[in-house]
Structure 1
Amino acid sequence: MKFTAMKKAVALTGAMAMLVGMAACGNTSSNDNAGSSNDGGKTEILVWSWDSTLPRTVEGFEAENPDIKVTVTNAGTNKDEYTALTNAIEAGSGAPDLVQIEYYALPEYQIREQIMDMSEFGADKFSDFYTPGTWSSVNLNGGVYALPMDSGPMAWFYNKEVFDKAGVNADEIKTWDQFYEAAKKIRATGSYITSDSGDAGFFDSMTWLAGAQPFETSKDGTEVSINLASDDKVATFVDFWQKLIDEDLIDTKTVGWSDDWNKGLNDGSIASLLTGAWMPYNLLSGAPDGEGKWRIAQMPTADGSTTNSENGGSSLALVKTDDKAKAEAAYKFAEYACHNAEGIKTRVDGGAFPADNDTLSSDEFLNMTALTDSDGNAHEYFGGQKFNEALAEAAANVSTGYKFLPFEVYARGVYADDAGAAYTDKSITLKDGIAAWEKNLKDFAEQQGYTVK
Structure 2
Amino acid sequence: MRIRTPRRLLGALAVASALALTATACGSSGGEAGDTGPKDVAAALEKGGKVTVWAWEPTLKKVAADFEKKYPKVDIQLVNAGTGDKQYTALQNALAAGSGAPDVAQVEYYALGQFTIGKSVENLAPYGATRHAKSFTPGPWNAVHQGKDIYALPMDSGPMAFFYNKKVFDKHHIKVPTTWDEYVTAARALHKADPKLFITNDTGDAGATTSLIWQAGGRPYRAEGTDVGIDFGDAGTKKYTATWQKLLDEKLVAPITSWSDAWYKGLADGSIATLSIGAWMPANFSSGVPSASGDWRVAPLPQWTKGDTASSENGGSSLAVPKAAKNKELAYAFAEYATTGAGAATRVADGAFPATRADLESQAFLDTRFDYFGGQKANRIFAESARNVGTGWTYLPYQAYANSVFNDTVGKAYVSGTKLSDGLEAWQEASVKYGDDQGFTVNK
TM-score normalized by structure 1? Answer: 0.86
AA of the residue aligned to 2:92: T
Q: Does the CA contact (< 8 Å) of 1:155 and 1:274 recur in 2?
A: yes
AA of the residue aligned to 2:201: S
Residue 17 (structure 1) shift: 2.2
Which position in structure 2 is the counterpart of 1:123? 129
**1:224 aligned onto 2:211:** no
AA of the residue aligned to 1:181: T
In structure 1, what is the Cα distance between the partners aligned to 2:169 and 2:207? 26
Query: Where do residues 198-213 of structure 1 align in structure 2 (5 Å cutoff)?
Result: 198-213=204-219
In structure 1, what is the Cα distance between the partners aligned to 2:340 and 2:47? 26
Query: Which SS does the other structure have where 1:225 is aligned?
Result: strand
Q: Which of the pair is proportionally richer in helix?
A: 2
Q: 2:315 aligns with which of 298, 312, 316?
A: 312
**1:17 aligned onto 2:17:** no
Which position in structure 1 is the counterpart of 2:260? 258
**1:165 aligned onto 2:152:** no
AA of the residue aligned to 2:245: Q
Q: Does the CA contact (< 8 Å) of 1:20 and 1:83 recur in 2?
A: no
**1:410 aligned onto 2:401:** yes
Q: Does the CA contact (< 8 Å) of 2:3 and 2:400 recur in 1?
A: yes
AA of the residue aligned to 2:279: A
Q: Does the CA contact (< 8 Å) of 2:159 and 2:386 recur in 1?
A: yes
AA of the residue aligned to 1:244: L
Q: Does the CA contact (< 8 Å) of 2:51 and 2:331 recur in 1?
A: yes
**Can you list the C-alpha shifts for 1:49-86, whole angstroms capped at 9, x where unaligned?**
01111121112111222232111111110101111111
Query: Where do residues 268-279 of structure 1 align in structure 2 (5 Å cutoff)?
Result: 268-279=270-281
In structure 1, what is the Cα distance between the partners aligned to 2:111 and 2:248? 29
AA of the residue aligned to 1:407: Y
In structure 2, what is the Cα distance between the partners aligned to 1:293 and 1:19? 43
Q: 1:168 to 1:248 in 2, by over 3 A?
A: same
Which position in structure 2 is the counterpart of 1:5? none
AA of the residue aligned to 2:442: V
**1:182 aligned onto 2:183:** no
Residue 195 (structure 1) shift: 1.1
**1:436 aligned onto 2:436:** no
In structure 2, what is the Cα distance between the partners aligned to 1:443 and 1:327? 36
In structure 2, what is the Cα distance between the partners aligned to 1:322 and 1:169? 53
In structure 2, what is the Cα distance between the partners aligned to 1:194 and 1:394? 20
Which position in structure 1 is the counterpart of 2:284? 282
Query: Which SS does the other structure have where 1:104 is aligned?
Result: helix
AA of the residue aligned to 1:248: K
**Can you list the C-alpha shifts for 1:90-143, whole angstroms capped at 9, x where unaligned?**
221111111100011112211211111111111111122111111111122431
TM-score normalized by structure 2? Answer: 0.88
**Can you list the C-alpha shifts for 1:392-414, whole angstroms capped at 9, x where unaligned?**
11111112211001111111111
Which position in structure 2 is the counterpart of 1:237? 240
CA RMSD of aligned residues (A): 2.0
Q: Does the CA contact (< 8 Å) of 2:161 and 2:300 recur in 1?
A: yes
Query: Where do residues 136-155 of structure 1 align in structure 2 (5 Å cutoff)?
Result: 136-155=142-161
Q: Does the CA contact (< 8 Å) of 1:21 and 1:83 recur in 2?
A: no
Q: 1:350 to 1:20 in 2, by over 3 A?
A: farther
**1:400 aligned onto 2:391:** yes
Which position in structure 2 is the counterpart of 1:391? 382
Q: Does the CA contact (< 8 Å) of 2:101 and 2:325 recur in 1?
A: no
Residue 275 (structure 1) shift: 0.3
Residue segments in structure 1 that go unaligned for 5+ positions in a row: 1-12, 23-30, 32-36, 371-379
Residue 189 (structure 1) shift: 2.6
Percent identity (aligned):
44
**Aligned residues, how many?**
408
In structure 1, what is the Cα distance between the partners aligned to 2:369 and 2:304? 30
**Can you list the C-alpha shifts for 1:315-364, whole angstroms capped at 9, x where unaligned?**
001111485xx111111101111012x21122112221111111111122
**1:97 aligned onto 2:103:** yes
